[in-house]
Structure 1
Amino acid sequence: MSSSSNGARVRTIFRSKTTKALDRMEDPRETLDDSYDQQVKLLQQVRVAVADVATAKKRIELQGEEMGARYQRLGSQAAEALAQGREDLARAALERRAMLESQVAALQQQFTSLDRQTAQLQERERRLTDQVAAFRIEKETIKATYTASEAQVKANEAVSGISNSITDVGSSLDRARDRVAQMQARAAATDELLASGALTDLTAAPDADIERQLAVISAQAEIERQLAALKGGASAAGGASEQAGSGSWTSIGQAGSAGQG
Protein backbone atom coordinates (compact mmCIF):
# COMPACT_ATOMS: atom_id res chain seq x y z
CA MET A 1 0.00 0.00 0.00
CA SER A 2 1.41 3.42 -0.96
CA SER A 3 2.15 6.24 1.47
CA SER A 4 -0.63 8.34 -0.05
CA SER A 5 -3.16 5.58 0.68
CA ASN A 6 -1.92 5.34 4.26
CA GLY A 7 -2.21 9.10 4.62
CA ALA A 8 -5.77 9.08 3.30
CA ARG A 9 -6.69 6.28 5.70
CA VAL A 10 -5.21 8.20 8.65
CA ARG A 11 -7.11 11.35 7.66
CA THR A 12 -10.35 9.36 7.36
CA ILE A 13 -9.87 7.83 10.80
CA PHE A 14 -9.01 11.23 12.28
CA ARG A 15 -12.11 12.86 10.77
CA SER A 16 -14.26 9.99 12.03
CA LYS A 17 -12.91 10.27 15.58
CA THR A 18 -13.23 14.07 15.50
CA THR A 19 -16.83 13.85 14.30
CA LYS A 20 -17.70 11.37 17.04
CA ALA A 21 -16.07 13.63 19.65
CA LEU A 22 -18.06 16.64 18.39
CA ASP A 23 -21.25 14.59 18.42
CA ARG A 24 -20.63 13.74 22.07
CA MET A 25 -19.88 17.40 22.86
CA GLU A 26 -22.98 18.63 21.02
CA ASP A 27 -25.39 15.98 22.23
CA PRO A 28 -28.79 17.72 22.01
CA ARG A 29 -30.12 15.57 24.84
CA GLU A 30 -27.61 17.03 27.26
CA THR A 31 -28.31 20.54 25.95
CA LEU A 32 -32.06 20.09 26.47
CA ASP A 33 -31.52 18.72 29.98
CA ASP A 34 -29.33 21.72 30.85
CA SER A 35 -31.95 24.14 29.53
CA TYR A 36 -34.66 22.36 31.49
CA ASP A 37 -32.59 22.51 34.68
CA GLN A 38 -32.08 26.25 34.19
CA GLN A 39 -35.81 26.81 33.75
CA VAL A 40 -36.56 24.75 36.86
CA LYS A 41 -34.06 26.84 38.84
CA LEU A 42 -35.68 30.03 37.55
CA LEU A 43 -39.09 28.70 38.53
CA GLN A 44 -37.79 27.95 42.01
CA GLN A 45 -36.47 31.51 42.30
CA VAL A 46 -39.86 32.90 41.30
CA ARG A 47 -41.57 30.70 43.86
CA VAL A 48 -39.16 31.86 46.56
CA ALA A 49 -39.90 35.46 45.58
CA VAL A 50 -43.65 34.78 45.77
CA ALA A 51 -43.18 33.28 49.23
CA ASP A 52 -41.06 36.24 50.39
CA VAL A 53 -43.57 38.80 49.15
CA ALA A 54 -46.45 36.84 50.65
CA THR A 55 -44.58 36.74 53.98
CA ALA A 56 -43.95 40.49 53.90
CA LYS A 57 -47.59 41.08 53.00
CA LYS A 58 -48.73 38.91 55.89
CA ARG A 59 -46.43 40.76 58.29
CA ILE A 60 -47.86 44.12 57.21
CA GLU A 61 -51.34 42.69 57.48
CA LEU A 62 -50.72 41.62 61.09
CA GLN A 63 -49.17 44.98 61.87
CA GLY A 64 -52.13 46.74 60.33
CA GLU A 65 -54.55 44.66 62.40
CA GLU A 66 -52.58 45.55 65.53
CA MET A 67 -52.61 49.25 64.61
CA GLY A 68 -56.31 49.03 63.84
CA ALA A 69 -57.00 47.56 67.26
CA ARG A 70 -54.96 50.34 68.86
CA TYR A 71 -56.84 52.92 66.79
CA GLN A 72 -60.15 51.58 68.10
CA ARG A 73 -58.83 51.47 71.66
CA LEU A 74 -57.64 55.12 71.51
CA GLY A 75 -61.07 56.14 70.30
CA SER A 76 -62.69 54.36 73.23
CA GLN A 77 -60.20 55.93 75.65
CA ALA A 78 -60.88 59.45 74.32
CA ALA A 79 -64.63 58.93 74.79
CA GLU A 80 -64.16 57.57 78.32
CA ALA A 81 -61.80 60.42 79.30
CA LEU A 82 -64.29 62.98 78.03
CA ALA A 83 -67.07 61.29 79.95
CA GLN A 84 -65.03 61.61 83.13
CA GLY A 85 -64.33 65.25 82.50
CA ARG A 86 -60.77 64.77 81.45
CA GLU A 87 -60.77 66.69 78.22
CA ASP A 88 -56.97 66.86 78.26
CA LEU A 89 -56.70 63.06 78.25
CA ALA A 90 -59.35 62.87 75.55
CA ARG A 91 -57.39 65.38 73.42
CA ALA A 92 -54.11 63.40 73.90
CA ALA A 93 -55.84 60.17 72.92
CA LEU A 94 -57.30 61.78 69.81
CA GLU A 95 -53.90 63.27 68.87
CA ARG A 96 -52.25 59.84 69.11
CA ARG A 97 -55.12 58.41 67.13
CA ALA A 98 -54.55 60.97 64.38
CA MET A 99 -50.84 60.14 64.21
CA LEU A 100 -51.70 56.44 64.11
CA GLU A 101 -54.15 57.06 61.30
CA SER A 102 -51.40 58.52 59.10
CA GLN A 103 -49.20 55.49 59.87
CA VAL A 104 -52.04 53.15 58.99
CA ALA A 105 -52.54 54.98 55.68
CA ALA A 106 -48.86 54.46 54.79
CA LEU A 107 -49.11 50.83 55.85
CA GLN A 108 -52.19 50.41 53.68
CA GLN A 109 -50.27 51.68 50.66
CA GLN A 110 -47.47 49.19 51.31
CA PHE A 111 -50.02 46.40 51.72
CA THR A 112 -51.73 47.34 48.45
CA SER A 113 -48.38 47.43 46.63
CA LEU A 114 -47.35 44.05 48.03
CA ASP A 115 -50.76 42.59 47.20
CA ARG A 116 -50.39 43.72 43.57
CA GLN A 117 -46.80 42.42 43.44
CA THR A 118 -47.92 39.08 44.88
CA ALA A 119 -50.60 38.74 42.22
CA GLN A 120 -48.11 39.52 39.46
CA LEU A 121 -45.57 37.04 40.79
CA GLN A 122 -48.20 34.36 41.16
CA GLU A 123 -49.31 34.92 37.57
CA ARG A 124 -45.69 34.69 36.38
CA GLU A 125 -45.20 31.56 38.42
CA ARG A 126 -48.27 29.99 36.84
CA ARG A 127 -47.15 30.84 33.30
CA LEU A 128 -43.60 29.72 33.96
CA THR A 129 -44.87 26.47 35.46
CA ASP A 130 -46.91 25.82 32.31
CA GLN A 131 -43.93 26.67 30.11
CA VAL A 132 -41.59 24.40 32.05
CA ALA A 133 -44.12 21.56 31.88
CA ALA A 134 -44.57 22.05 28.12
CA PHE A 135 -40.81 22.28 27.61
CA ARG A 136 -40.31 19.07 29.57
CA ILE A 137 -42.77 17.19 27.34
CA GLU A 138 -41.15 18.54 24.18
CA LYS A 139 -37.69 17.82 25.58
CA GLU A 140 -38.49 14.19 26.28
CA THR A 141 -40.07 13.83 22.83
CA ILE A 142 -37.00 15.26 21.11
CA LYS A 143 -34.70 13.10 23.22
CA ALA A 144 -36.68 9.97 22.37
CA THR A 145 -36.64 10.86 18.66
CA TYR A 146 -32.90 11.54 18.75
CA THR A 147 -32.22 8.29 20.60
CA ALA A 148 -34.26 6.33 18.06
CA SER A 149 -32.48 8.05 15.16
CA GLU A 150 -29.11 7.39 16.78
CA ALA A 151 -29.97 3.71 17.16
CA GLN A 152 -31.04 3.58 13.51
CA VAL A 153 -27.76 5.17 12.41
CA LYS A 154 -25.76 2.66 14.46
CA ALA A 155 -27.80 -0.20 13.00
CA ASN A 156 -27.24 1.09 9.46
CA GLU A 157 -23.53 1.48 10.13
CA ALA A 158 -23.42 -2.06 11.51
CA VAL A 159 -25.22 -3.40 8.42
CA SER A 160 -22.85 -1.43 6.20
CA GLY A 161 -19.91 -2.86 8.09
CA ILE A 162 -21.25 -6.38 7.62
CA SER A 163 -21.75 -5.71 3.91
CA ASN A 164 -18.18 -4.48 3.61
CA SER A 165 -16.97 -7.56 5.47
CA ILE A 166 -18.91 -9.84 3.12
CA THR A 167 -17.43 -7.98 0.15
CA ASP A 168 -13.94 -8.44 1.59
CA VAL A 169 -14.61 -12.14 2.15
CA GLY A 170 -15.77 -12.51 -1.46
CA SER A 171 -12.64 -10.74 -2.71
CA SER A 172 -10.49 -13.02 -0.58
CA LEU A 173 -12.21 -16.09 -2.03
CA ASP A 174 -11.69 -14.81 -5.56
CA ARG A 175 -8.00 -14.19 -4.89
CA ALA A 176 -7.66 -17.66 -3.31
CA ARG A 177 -9.31 -19.30 -6.33
CA ASP A 178 -6.93 -17.45 -8.67
CA ARG A 179 -3.93 -18.57 -6.63
CA VAL A 180 -5.11 -22.19 -6.65
CA ALA A 181 -5.66 -22.12 -10.42
CA GLN A 182 -2.22 -20.61 -10.96
CA MET A 183 -0.61 -23.24 -8.74
CA GLN A 184 -2.43 -26.08 -10.50
CA ALA A 185 -1.33 -24.78 -13.88
CA ARG A 186 2.24 -24.46 -12.66
CA ALA A 187 2.19 -28.01 -11.26
CA ALA A 188 0.93 -29.42 -14.59
CA ALA A 189 3.54 -27.45 -16.52
CA THR A 190 6.39 -28.65 -14.32
CA ASP A 191 5.16 -32.25 -14.64
CA GLU A 192 5.33 -31.95 -18.42
CA LEU A 193 8.77 -30.34 -18.33
CA LEU A 194 10.03 -33.00 -15.92
CA ALA A 195 8.69 -35.81 -18.13
CA SER A 196 10.29 -34.32 -21.23
CA GLY A 197 13.64 -33.97 -19.51
CA ALA A 198 13.65 -30.18 -19.72
CA LEU A 199 13.80 -30.15 -15.92
CA THR A 200 16.11 -32.29 -13.86
CA ASP A 201 14.53 -34.50 -11.21
CA LEU A 202 16.88 -33.97 -8.28
CA THR A 203 15.18 -36.76 -6.32
CA ALA A 204 15.89 -39.45 -9.00
CA ALA A 205 18.77 -41.97 -8.70
CA PRO A 206 22.06 -41.30 -10.54
CA ASP A 207 22.01 -42.22 -14.29
CA ALA A 208 18.24 -42.65 -14.17
CA ASP A 209 17.89 -40.85 -17.45
CA ILE A 210 20.11 -43.41 -19.23
CA GLU A 211 18.18 -46.31 -17.72
CA ARG A 212 14.92 -44.71 -18.83
CA GLN A 213 16.18 -44.38 -22.43
CA LEU A 214 17.46 -48.01 -22.47
CA ALA A 215 14.08 -49.20 -21.21
CA VAL A 216 12.41 -47.42 -24.10
CA ILE A 217 14.82 -49.06 -26.61
CA SER A 218 14.24 -52.51 -25.12
CA ALA A 219 10.49 -52.08 -25.34
CA GLN A 220 10.75 -51.14 -28.98
CA ALA A 221 13.02 -54.16 -29.70
CA GLU A 222 10.49 -56.50 -28.05
CA ILE A 223 7.72 -55.11 -30.23
CA GLU A 224 9.88 -55.67 -33.36
CA ARG A 225 10.61 -59.24 -32.32
CA GLN A 226 6.95 -60.06 -31.76
CA LEU A 227 6.08 -58.50 -35.12
CA ALA A 228 8.72 -60.69 -36.89
CA ALA A 229 7.32 -63.78 -35.16
CA LEU A 230 3.85 -62.98 -36.44
CA LYS A 231 5.22 -62.62 -39.96
CA GLY A 232 7.03 -66.01 -39.66
CA GLY A 233 3.90 -68.01 -40.15
CA ALA A 234 0.59 -69.16 -38.77
CA SER A 235 2.22 -72.08 -37.01
CA ALA A 236 4.36 -69.85 -34.94
CA ALA A 237 1.36 -67.67 -34.27
CA GLY A 238 -0.73 -70.73 -33.33
CA GLY A 239 1.98 -72.00 -31.01
CA ALA A 240 2.19 -68.61 -29.42
CA SER A 241 -1.57 -68.53 -29.08
CA GLU A 242 -1.66 -71.92 -27.47
CA GLN A 243 1.07 -70.94 -25.08
CA ALA A 244 -0.69 -67.72 -24.24
CA GLY A 245 -4.04 -69.48 -23.90
CA SER A 246 -2.82 -72.40 -21.88
CA GLY A 247 -1.07 -70.34 -19.29
CA SER A 248 -2.50 -68.03 -16.66
CA TRP A 249 -1.96 -64.32 -16.46
CA THR A 250 1.38 -65.01 -14.78
CA SER A 251 2.77 -66.38 -18.04
CA ILE A 252 2.11 -63.15 -19.93
CA GLY A 253 5.43 -61.61 -21.02
CA GLN A 254 7.39 -64.70 -19.98
CA ALA A 255 7.71 -66.15 -23.54
CA GLY A 256 9.88 -63.33 -24.74
CA SER A 257 12.08 -63.62 -21.74
CA ALA A 258 12.53 -67.38 -22.21
CA GLY A 259 13.37 -66.90 -25.86
CA GLN A 260 16.00 -64.32 -24.99
CA GLY A 261 17.40 -66.66 -22.40
Structure 2
Amino acid sequence: MGLMNRFSAVIKQKVNTLLDKFEDPREALDYSYIRQLEMLNKVRRGLAEIITSRKRLEMQKSKLWDNIRLLDEQASRALDAGREDLARLALERKNTNLLQIQDLDKQIAELQEEARKMEEAEKRMAVKVEEFKSKKEVIKARYSAAEAQVKIKESVTGISEEMADVGMAMNRAEEKTESMRAKAQALDEMINSGVLTDYTSNKDEIERELEKITVQNSVEEELAKLKSEKERKKKQRVEQEAQQ
Protein backbone atom coordinates (compact mmCIF):
# COMPACT_ATOMS: atom_id res chain seq x y z
CA MET A 1 0.00 0.00 0.00
CA GLY A 2 2.88 2.35 0.85
CA LEU A 3 4.52 1.65 -2.49
CA MET A 4 1.31 2.43 -4.38
CA ASN A 5 0.90 5.71 -2.53
CA ARG A 6 4.46 6.72 -3.34
CA PHE A 7 3.95 5.76 -6.98
CA SER A 8 0.72 7.79 -7.15
CA ALA A 9 2.45 10.80 -5.56
CA VAL A 10 5.31 10.60 -8.08
CA ILE A 11 2.86 10.42 -11.00
CA LYS A 12 0.97 13.47 -9.70
CA GLN A 13 4.20 15.40 -9.31
CA LYS A 14 5.26 14.58 -12.86
CA VAL A 15 1.85 15.54 -14.25
CA ASN A 16 1.87 18.83 -12.31
CA THR A 17 5.36 19.60 -13.54
CA LEU A 18 4.29 18.93 -17.11
CA LEU A 19 1.20 21.11 -16.75
CA ASP A 20 3.19 23.92 -15.18
CA LYS A 21 5.60 23.79 -18.09
CA PHE A 22 2.97 24.09 -20.82
CA GLU A 23 0.25 26.09 -19.07
CA ASP A 24 0.36 29.84 -19.73
CA PRO A 25 -1.25 31.79 -16.83
CA ARG A 26 -2.01 34.64 -19.23
CA GLU A 27 -4.19 32.36 -21.32
CA ALA A 28 -5.96 31.15 -18.16
CA LEU A 29 -6.72 34.76 -17.21
CA ASP A 30 -8.07 35.54 -20.67
CA TYR A 31 -10.24 32.43 -20.58
CA SER A 32 -11.62 33.37 -17.17
CA TYR A 33 -12.46 36.84 -18.47
CA ILE A 34 -14.26 35.36 -21.49
CA ARG A 35 -16.33 33.13 -19.21
CA GLN A 36 -17.32 36.11 -17.08
CA LEU A 37 -18.37 38.01 -20.20
CA GLU A 38 -20.50 35.03 -21.22
CA MET A 39 -22.24 35.03 -17.84
CA LEU A 40 -22.81 38.78 -18.08
CA ASN A 41 -24.33 38.36 -21.53
CA LYS A 42 -26.64 35.64 -20.21
CA VAL A 43 -27.90 38.03 -17.55
CA ARG A 44 -28.47 40.71 -20.17
CA ARG A 45 -30.35 38.28 -22.42
CA GLY A 46 -32.51 37.24 -19.49
CA LEU A 47 -33.27 40.88 -18.72
CA ALA A 48 -34.18 41.51 -22.35
CA GLU A 49 -36.56 38.54 -22.31
CA ILE A 50 -38.29 39.81 -19.17
CA ILE A 51 -38.72 43.29 -20.64
CA THR A 52 -40.06 41.80 -23.88
CA SER A 53 -42.58 39.70 -21.95
CA ARG A 54 -43.72 42.75 -20.02
CA LYS A 55 -44.18 44.72 -23.23
CA ARG A 56 -46.31 41.93 -24.67
CA LEU A 57 -48.54 41.93 -21.60
CA GLU A 58 -48.89 45.71 -21.76
CA MET A 59 -49.90 45.50 -25.43
CA GLN A 60 -52.45 42.82 -24.56
CA LYS A 61 -53.82 45.04 -21.79
CA SER A 62 -54.16 47.96 -24.20
CA LYS A 63 -56.12 45.79 -26.63
CA LEU A 64 -58.46 44.70 -23.85
CA TRP A 65 -59.18 48.34 -22.96
CA ASP A 66 -59.97 49.07 -26.62
CA ASN A 67 -62.32 46.11 -26.64
CA ILE A 68 -64.01 47.30 -23.42
CA ARG A 69 -64.73 50.69 -24.95
CA LEU A 70 -66.20 48.99 -28.01
CA LEU A 71 -68.39 46.74 -25.86
CA ASP A 72 -69.71 49.75 -23.92
CA GLU A 73 -70.70 51.35 -27.20
CA GLN A 74 -72.32 48.14 -28.43
CA ALA A 75 -74.32 47.75 -25.20
CA SER A 76 -75.68 51.26 -25.56
CA ARG A 77 -76.59 50.74 -29.24
CA ALA A 78 -78.25 47.41 -28.47
CA LEU A 79 -80.40 48.98 -25.75
CA ASP A 80 -81.41 51.77 -28.13
CA ALA A 81 -82.52 49.11 -30.58
CA GLY A 82 -84.56 47.34 -27.92
CA ARG A 83 -82.20 44.35 -27.78
CA GLU A 84 -81.60 43.96 -24.08
CA ASP A 85 -80.21 40.47 -24.67
CA LEU A 86 -77.42 41.87 -26.84
CA ALA A 87 -76.71 44.62 -24.33
CA ARG A 88 -76.41 42.02 -21.58
CA LEU A 89 -74.02 39.92 -23.70
CA ALA A 90 -71.83 42.94 -24.43
CA LEU A 91 -71.64 43.82 -20.73
CA GLU A 92 -70.78 40.23 -19.82
CA ARG A 93 -67.87 40.29 -22.24
CA LYS A 94 -66.79 43.67 -20.93
CA ASN A 95 -66.59 42.44 -17.33
CA THR A 96 -64.74 39.30 -18.41
CA ASN A 97 -62.16 41.58 -20.05
CA LEU A 98 -61.91 43.61 -16.83
CA LEU A 99 -61.04 40.44 -14.90
CA GLN A 100 -58.38 39.61 -17.47
CA ILE A 101 -56.91 43.11 -17.05
CA GLN A 102 -56.66 42.54 -13.29
CA ASP A 103 -54.65 39.36 -13.90
CA LEU A 104 -52.44 41.19 -16.41
CA ASP A 105 -51.77 43.99 -13.94
CA LYS A 106 -50.45 41.46 -11.41
CA GLN A 107 -48.19 39.81 -13.98
CA ILE A 108 -46.90 43.16 -15.25
CA ALA A 109 -46.06 44.27 -11.70
CA GLU A 110 -44.19 41.00 -11.05
CA LEU A 111 -42.21 41.35 -14.27
CA GLN A 112 -41.31 44.95 -13.44
CA GLU A 113 -39.94 43.87 -10.05
CA GLU A 114 -38.00 41.00 -11.63
CA ALA A 115 -36.55 43.35 -14.25
CA ARG A 116 -35.48 45.79 -11.53
CA LYS A 117 -33.60 43.04 -9.67
CA MET A 118 -31.87 41.83 -12.81
CA GLU A 119 -30.90 45.37 -13.82
CA GLU A 120 -29.21 45.87 -10.45
CA ALA A 121 -27.44 42.51 -10.71
CA GLU A 122 -26.30 43.30 -14.27
CA LYS A 123 -24.81 46.64 -13.19
CA ARG A 124 -22.93 45.09 -10.26
CA MET A 125 -21.68 42.23 -12.39
CA ALA A 126 -20.56 44.56 -15.20
CA VAL A 127 -18.47 46.54 -12.69
CA LYS A 128 -16.87 43.34 -11.35
CA VAL A 129 -16.03 42.12 -14.86
CA GLU A 130 -14.48 45.45 -15.80
CA GLU A 131 -12.41 45.45 -12.61
CA PHE A 132 -11.22 41.93 -13.36
CA LYS A 133 -10.28 42.95 -16.88
CA SER A 134 -8.11 45.81 -15.63
CA LYS A 135 -6.41 43.67 -13.00
CA LYS A 136 -5.93 40.86 -15.52
CA GLU A 137 -4.03 43.11 -17.89
CA VAL A 138 -1.81 44.38 -15.07
CA ILE A 139 -0.99 40.85 -13.93
CA LYS A 140 -0.31 39.73 -17.50
CA ALA A 141 2.05 42.66 -18.03
CA ARG A 142 3.87 41.91 -14.78
CA TYR A 143 4.09 38.25 -15.70
CA SER A 144 5.49 39.00 -19.14
CA ALA A 145 8.05 41.37 -17.67
CA ALA A 146 9.06 38.84 -15.02
CA GLU A 147 9.29 36.10 -17.64
CA ALA A 148 11.56 38.24 -19.79
CA GLN A 149 13.78 39.07 -16.81
CA VAL A 150 14.05 35.39 -15.86
CA LYS A 151 15.07 34.41 -19.38
CA ILE A 152 17.70 37.15 -19.53
CA LYS A 153 19.16 36.20 -16.16
CA GLU A 154 19.12 32.52 -17.05
CA SER A 155 21.08 33.20 -20.20
CA VAL A 156 23.60 35.31 -18.26
CA THR A 157 23.99 33.17 -15.14
CA GLY A 158 23.18 29.75 -16.58
CA ILE A 159 20.53 29.04 -13.93
CA SER A 160 18.64 25.84 -14.70
CA GLU A 161 15.10 25.89 -16.06
CA GLU A 162 13.90 23.92 -13.02
CA MET A 163 14.91 26.75 -10.67
CA ALA A 164 13.13 29.29 -12.82
CA ASP A 165 10.00 27.15 -12.80
CA VAL A 166 9.70 27.65 -9.03
CA GLY A 167 9.04 31.37 -9.37
CA MET A 168 6.74 30.82 -12.32
CA ALA A 169 4.68 28.28 -10.36
CA MET A 170 4.24 30.78 -7.50
CA ASN A 171 3.08 33.45 -9.93
CA ARG A 172 0.66 31.04 -11.56
CA ALA A 173 -0.79 30.02 -8.19
CA GLU A 174 -1.38 33.67 -7.26
CA GLU A 175 -3.00 34.44 -10.60
CA LYS A 176 -5.25 31.39 -10.40
CA THR A 177 -6.35 32.37 -6.90
CA GLU A 178 -7.33 35.86 -8.05
CA SER A 179 -9.14 34.40 -11.06
CA MET A 180 -11.16 32.02 -8.88
CA ARG A 181 -12.09 34.84 -6.48
CA ALA A 182 -13.36 36.93 -9.37
CA LYS A 183 -15.37 33.97 -10.69
CA ALA A 184 -16.90 33.39 -7.24
CA GLN A 185 -17.93 37.05 -7.04
CA ALA A 186 -19.50 36.84 -10.48
CA LEU A 187 -21.46 33.73 -9.47
CA ASP A 188 -22.70 35.52 -6.34
CA GLU A 189 -24.11 38.28 -8.51
CA MET A 190 -25.87 35.70 -10.70
CA ILE A 191 -27.45 34.08 -7.64
CA ASN A 192 -28.63 37.45 -6.28
CA SER A 193 -30.40 38.22 -9.57
CA GLY A 194 -33.31 35.94 -8.59
CA VAL A 195 -35.34 33.28 -10.40
CA LEU A 196 -38.00 33.95 -13.03
CA THR A 197 -41.50 33.50 -11.82
CA ASP A 198 -43.86 31.07 -13.51
CA TYR A 199 -46.79 33.21 -14.60
CA THR A 200 -49.06 30.42 -15.77
CA SER A 201 -52.37 30.31 -13.95
CA ASN A 202 -54.42 27.20 -13.22
CA LYS A 203 -57.78 28.24 -11.74
CA ASP A 204 -60.01 25.62 -10.16
CA GLU A 205 -63.73 25.23 -10.77
CA ILE A 206 -64.72 27.17 -7.62
CA GLU A 207 -62.64 30.16 -8.68
CA ARG A 208 -64.19 30.12 -12.17
CA GLU A 209 -67.71 29.97 -10.74
CA LEU A 210 -66.98 32.87 -8.36
CA GLU A 211 -65.69 34.89 -11.31
CA LYS A 212 -68.90 34.17 -13.21
CA ILE A 213 -70.95 35.42 -10.24
CA THR A 214 -68.84 38.57 -10.11
CA VAL A 215 -69.35 39.14 -13.83
CA GLN A 216 -73.13 38.59 -13.58
CA ASN A 217 -73.45 40.99 -10.64
CA SER A 218 -71.48 43.64 -12.48
CA VAL A 219 -73.59 43.14 -15.60
CA GLU A 220 -76.86 43.56 -13.69
CA GLU A 221 -75.58 46.71 -11.99
CA GLU A 222 -74.38 48.26 -15.24
CA LEU A 223 -77.54 47.25 -17.07
CA ALA A 224 -79.69 48.91 -14.39
CA LYS A 225 -77.56 52.07 -14.59
CA LEU A 226 -77.81 52.09 -18.36
CA LYS A 227 -81.62 51.71 -18.27
CA SER A 228 -81.93 54.44 -15.66
CA GLU A 229 -79.81 56.76 -17.78
CA LYS A 230 -81.93 56.02 -20.85
CA GLU A 231 -85.15 56.70 -18.93
CA ARG A 232 -83.74 59.94 -17.52
CA LYS A 233 -82.77 61.21 -20.96
CA LYS A 234 -86.16 60.17 -22.38
CA LYS A 235 -87.96 61.99 -19.57
CA GLN A 236 -85.88 65.12 -20.18
CA ARG A 237 -86.79 65.08 -23.89
CA VAL A 238 -90.51 64.72 -23.10
CA GLU A 239 -90.34 67.63 -20.62
CA GLN A 240 -88.49 69.81 -23.11
CA GLU A 241 -91.04 69.04 -25.82
CA ALA A 242 -93.90 69.84 -23.42
CA GLN A 243 -92.36 73.19 -22.54
CA GLN A 244 -92.04 74.07 -26.19
**TM-score, reference length from structure 2:** 0.55
Mapping 1:128-147, distance limit 5 Å: 128-147=125-144
| Unaligned runs of at least 5 residues, structure 1 | 1-16, 163-261
Which of 99, 102, 108 is equivalent to 1:105?
102
Does 1 or 2 have the higher relative contact order (CA < 8 Å, sep 6+)? 2
Aligned residue number for residue 79 of structure 1: 76
For 1:116 and 1:96, locate their aligned partners in 2 and report how far apart those are by CA, in whole Å.
31
Aligned residue number for residue 35 of structure 1: 32
Which of 54, 57, 62 is equivalent to 1:60?
57
Aligned residue number for residue 155 of structure 2: 158
Distance 1:60 1:18, change over 3 A: closer
Shift of 1:118: 1.6
1:109-164 deviations in Å (ceiling 9; x for gaps): 111111211222222222211111111011111111111111111111111029xx
For 1:138 and 1:82, locate their aligned partners in 2 and report how far apart those are by CA, in whole Å.
75
Percent identical across equivalent pairs?
Answer: 43
For 2:27 and 2:83, locate their aligned partners in 1 and report how far apart those are by CA, in whole Å.
79
Amino acid at match of 1:70: N
Paired positions, count: 146
Distance 1:102 1:31, change over 3 A: same
Distance 1:88 1:27, change over 3 A: same
1:28-69 deviations in Å (ceiling 9; x for gaps): 212211211110110111111112111111111111111111
Larger radius of gyration: 1
Distance 1:116 1:155, change over 3 A: same
Shift of 1:23: 2.9
Shift of 1:21: 3.6
